[in-house]
Amino acid sequence: MEWDYILRDAVKGNTIKELHLKKVPSLKTCDDWKKVSEIGLIDHQTKYAHYKGGLVKYGERLYFVAQQRLDAIAPFRPWNFKAKIKVMEGE
């Protein structure tokens, strides 16, 4: 299964499946943070992890950015998340 292709359209109607959220890579660094576009904020607890941060698009790919990284970059690049993403559990 090609996860890059599936994750491009993983967010539909401000919801994402938990299975897809677990496969979303984390964006830790990039060449130009101003080219990153905001999709929505996430605050979701799974059995083994707590996803607190935002979903963003960089290029054609979907990424997760942790809240600590969002806070660290905020003085240099203002974030404007307009939606809250709901996570659907199960298949």
Summarize pLDDT for 26-82 with one digit per residue, the tens. Answer: 999 999 999 999 999 999 998 888 999 999 999 889 999 999 999 999 999 999 999
pLDDT grade for 89, boundaries at 50, 70 and 90: confident
Which pLDDT score is estimated for 9?
A: 74
To which residue do tokens 């994402």 refer? 16
Which pLDDT score is estimated for 51?
A: 94
Which pLDDT score is estimated for 60?
A: 87
Q: What is the total count of domains within the chain? A: 1
Classify 37 as helix, strand or coil: strand
Tell me which residue range forms the domain holding 7.
3-88
